[in-house]
Amino acid sequence: MRGMGGKTGRAVGCLMAFTISTGALGATPADVGAQDADTLVLGLDQALEIARGSNPTYRQAVNSTGLNGAETRTTWLSQVLPQAQLNLFSTGFDGNISRIGTDDFGNPILRPEADWVYASTTRQALTLNWSIQGASLFQALDRQRLTNTQRELSEAGALTGVEIAVRRAFMDVLEQRDLLEAERETLEGRRTDQDVSNRLFRLAMRTRVDVLNAELAVEQQTLAVQQQSAAFQRAKLTLRTALGDEALPPLRLVDEVLPIFDPGSLDPEALVATAERVNPEMRSVSVAVDEAELGVSEANRSWWPTLTASAQLSRVARSNAATGESSGAALFDVSFDEDLDQNFYVGLSFPMFNNYFQNRQEQHRARIDRSNRREALRETQLRTEETVRSALLELENQHESLRLAERSAVIAREALRLAREEYRLGTRDFEDLRDAFDQEAQTRRQVIQARHAFVDALLSLEEAVGTAVRPAGAPGA
């Protein structure tokens, strides 16, 4: 009878353990999230929109692009069109000692002694100046166009980088949250193990060592939950920094469908070709080569003659005491009763031999710079191709790792189910059951990590290519 009582107690304890453990493992993410005090429900699309409007790195690039319009207008007005100078009003009064005077008929005569002669003037003038050397007008426009393009590419690169950073930080928060939920479920399982050990100890079916080991497992798992909770909070801080809006309330992220798909449909050659065409870094280096080509043309411009033209329309009021006028009569004189003066000038100069050796040096330096930038473009192409192919290999590796992790989780769940049945029948001891439970918990963690590792590898590939690479029909495409 005593033996039968032991078996009965063991069976009752086993059934209680199964009931509690099943309840712990059946906790849903919504139940865990209900305990969260976050107030802003944030989706990935909303997070990207916030980052576009608030991220400091991207906003700096946008502000720099705002210079394009002003600099383009300045280029037209200062380097292409004639430069206008307007003198609205200038007046002056001066005097000098002179021995020359005038007689009653206005003829110059020699004075017996020197005397001060005073005069005043008031002037208004409009002057237009224009200068051209070779193709300088078109080169100025080309230079400004390339500068504008570089700023636009910098903005595009900053936007791509910010979006990748926000996506990665967002997914990392989801990963750390899922891992935290998994650790809490494992903690409930540890506590169930501890309760069963205590009951079996009271029934004299287990030793004090089993009770202490169960208590130790609970404490260690509590520490794991605390550490994972801290990792979850750090991930949210990283996301807030990536968003760039310090006024955001506490965050609570909604679940997102992870973009998991078979990368076997991705063509490496097509990805490399796309990267060479749209990757912001590749495009920026290509524009740098165009700038170097333009620099060579600008350096060779020194061999061309310079054409200079100017036109001036002016009005001048003058008074001179030597002519019998009041010396200050023209001071602040704005009456337009004088004739307008018109001047026009056209000049052609040949500065090709001015600073000859310095010009040759600049031409040589421009050609060297062009060669270096072409090599930099080739280097960037090689590095981009390597990065894209490596990222694709990593994506394929993570997809296979995810498949193996999911398969391992299925096997671990089946092993745990069988271990529970054997324990209920008395053919397996409690330590073996706990090992099966630990293995199942570990495989659940591995599946979570493998899924997010695949997403991280996908983001790295898209960052290398410069655009989304998900095939049609894939989640998140």
> What average pLDDT does the segment 425-429 reach?
71
From the list 255, 257, 259, the residue with the least C-alpha distance to 30 is 255
- 38 or 166: which carries more pLDDT confidence? 166
Q: Is it the case that residue 443 has pLDDT exceeding 70?
A: yes
Structure tokens at 292: 């170097």
pLDDT given at position 202: 82
> What average pLDDT does the segment 94-111 reach?
70
**Are 177 and 253 spatial neighbours (Cβ–Cβ below 8 Å)?**
yes
Amino acid identity, position 39: T
pLDDT given at position 102: 67
16 — pLDDT class (breaks 50, 70, 90): very low
Q: Is it the case that residue 149 has pLDDT exceeding 90?
A: yes
Give CA–CA dist 254/256, Å, rounded: 6
pLDDT given at position 217: 84
105 — pLDDT class (breaks 50, 70, 90): low
Is 236 buried (19+), middle (13-18) or exposed (0-12) by CB count in 10 A? buried
329 — pLDDT class (breaks 50, 70, 90): confident
Q: Measured between alpha carbons, how far is residue 34 from residues 23, 29, 31, 251, 305 in Å?
A: 17, 8, 5, 13, 79
Q: Is it the case that residue 18 has pLDDT exceeding 60?
A: no
Out of 195-204, 209-218, 298-307, 464-473, which region has the weakest mean confidence (pLDDT)? 195-204
38 — pLDDT class (breaks 50, 70, 90): very low
**Are 198 and 211 spatial neighbours (Cβ–Cβ below 8 Å)?**
yes
323 — pLDDT class (breaks 50, 70, 90): low
CA angle 36, 37, 40 (to 5 degrees): 105
> What average pLDDT does the segment 24-43 reach?
52
37 — pLDDT class (breaks 50, 70, 90): very low
Give CA–CA dist 42/256, Å, rounded: 10
Q: Is it the case that residue 30 has pLDDT exceeding 70?
A: no
Q: Which residue has the tokens 């206008």?
A: 84
Q: At what angle do helices 208-243 and 44-54 cross, to 10 degrees?
A: 50
Q: What is the mean pLDDT of the chain?
A: 84
Q: Is it the case that residue 8 has pLDDT exceeding 70?
A: no
pLDDT given at position 33: 40
